[in-house]
Chain A
Amino acid sequence: MSLDKEYLTINLGPTHPATHGVFQNIIQVDGERIVSAEPTIGYIHRAFEKLAEHRPFYQITPITDRLNYCSSPINNIGWHLAVEKLLAVQTPKRVDYMRVIIMELARISDHIICNSILGVDTGAFSGFLYLFKQREFIYEIYEEICGTRLTTNIGRIGGFERDFNDIVFEKLEKFLLSFKEALEEFESLFNRNRIFMDRTIGVGKISSQMALDYGFTGPNLRATGVDYDVRVMSTYASYEDFEFDIPIGTTGDTYDRFMVRNAEMWQSLSIIRQALDKMPIGPYFADVPEFYLPPKQDVYHYMEALIYHFKVVMGEIPVPSGEIYSAVEAGNGELGFYLVSDGGRTPFRLHFRRPCFIYYQAYPKIIEGELLSDAIITLSSLNVIAGELDA
């Protein structure tokens, strides 16, 4: 006697509570095992590249906020760095150090979300609560620096609109202490937790060769054992001044990705500490009056400042034509900006190299033959952010 085999089709998403974002997977299952998956993306596509072709450079910063909204400051600063590369602007050391502090804070907040949500998906809720309190502290620091929390629009082309005030430094010191404790507690809850290990070890495995073939970057690539980090390979914002390790994994499974992100948070803490200790004295913006808005007081009292203010706002300053590719190490990989300028007030073409758009295409391959419940935690450990996926 033979039984006819019939697969069950499951529609996971677009708004499934287990996927933490708007993406759909049409999954064929044989019992609990996945036979094939077909991702559909683009549900929150907002045509950023088209929008960017119609905006002056400084107005593109708010667009970059909405790429990976878990770590907007990295996107903002990545964009500033790209424009500064096109304009050949040299930023003062203090600007670089301030940027490093903010980017590392953003990296921590990005990893907090990924790792604590992974905990929630595996059934451990308390780690999420402990770490989200810390994320709130990070957002308070952003608030002190730029006035906003999630979509930060932080900094300006050439530097910052204002210096870090005393409250920022106070809050940073407080955060360094409290986060150390919280992360230790978080690690003691998860790292050697039998249930968590059983649930994640060997799940969603990727070999290093496959990861490279599919364009993986960031923690997901490093979890497979490849030590590629943009901060070291094409250094920017004075990252060469700091001592830090690049944590890597060995097997590229969900547990390794989790451990790499945890280790990166420790490294980020150490980078912030070093930056605070070595913080240079000096101006907090580069000397580029054509692109950096003058202080408001000067605009009221000096003619040059008024002229520059007008020119910056109206986008009347010629930009060198040319093309550049500039990349930063964002929360989940290499965030690249390919910018082509024809000398006009807006970019001729701007392309965002969004890391998770590129590595999410490997997802069906990774989960093939795995259990449906494992596919969920694989997705959350890959840290696919819908805003970045769909641009």
Chain B
Amino acid sequence: MDFNNDLIASLKTEIPNGVLAVDSQTDIFTVTLERSHLIQVMAYLKTAVGFSFLTDLCGIHYPDLLSLGVVYHLHDLKNNRRIRLKTFVNQDNPVLDSVTAIFPAANWMERETYDFFGIQFENHPCLRRILNEDDMSYFPMRKEYPLEDASRTDKQDDMFGR
């Protein structure tokens, strides 16, 4: 707990306005970041604090808030600490800085996030679709896309409803 408080205090002095919210109730200490300061915070966490391992990066869509989020899990392997970082962008203009320059492992993870949520990562070396086909015209993990094609009529069932 002390470590987390110190971390937030040093983050706030180092990068004012970088931190939007802090949540210490979840399983992993969670910090919500202001998106324009993402790169600064990431670089600081990696070089000065020791969170040098990017465990995971994934997108999430909150249609009610009209926002798309990106969730980063970092790991400090030496002290065995984890941290979860979140940042949100507007779903109409989802542009975010890429962290590939800091964490090379983010390359494919960001491509996957782009592929499924349509978040444009700026300064990404090669932002192409990765798992879906190249000429797909939509981003399937967004909540507005149903699991199946809603226009299908061959599977309609009045009794149980599809």
Contact = CB atoms under 8 A, between A and B. Distances in A.
A386 to B, nearest CB: 12
Given A226-B77, A391-B131, A357 B141 contact: no
Given A212-B53, A228-B77, A349-B60, A361 B108 contact: yes
Contacts, number: 78
Contacts of A212: 52-53, 77
A47 B104 CA distance: 25
Given A51-B147, A338-B58, A351-B58, A213 B103 contact: yes
A49 B116 contact: yes
Given A42-B130, A357-B108, A391-B131, A338 B80 contact: no
Contacts of A234: 80, 82
Interface residues of B, number: 32
Interface in A85-106: 85
Nearest to B148: A54
B71 interface: yes
B131 A390 contact: yes
Nearest to B53: A212
A353 B55 contact: yes
A47 B140 contact: yes
Given A325-B27, A325-B73, A361-B107, A338 B140 contact: no
Interface string B87-106: 00000000000000001110
B26 interface: yes
A127 B131 CA distance: 35
Given A212-B53, A214-B105, A226-B77, A41 B130 contact: yes
Nearest to B23: A323
B55 A334 contact: yes
Interface in A209-261: 212-215, 226, 228, 233-234
Contacts of A353: 55-56, 73
A16 interface: no
A327 B28 CA distance: 12
A41 B105 contact: no
Given A336-B73, A357-B108, A45 B132 contact: yes
Nearest to B86: A323
A213 B105 contact: yes
Contacts of A391: 131
Given A42-B132, A361-B107, 17 more contacts: A42-B130, A213-B104, A214-B105, A234-B80, A234-B82, A323-B27, A324-B27, A325-B27, A325-B82, A325-B84, A334-B55, A336-B73, A338-B58, A338-B73, A351-B56, A351-B71, A358-B109
11 contacts: A54-B147, A226-B77, A327-B55, A336-B56, A336-B73, A338-B58, A349-B61, A353-B56, A357-B112, A361-B108, A391-B131
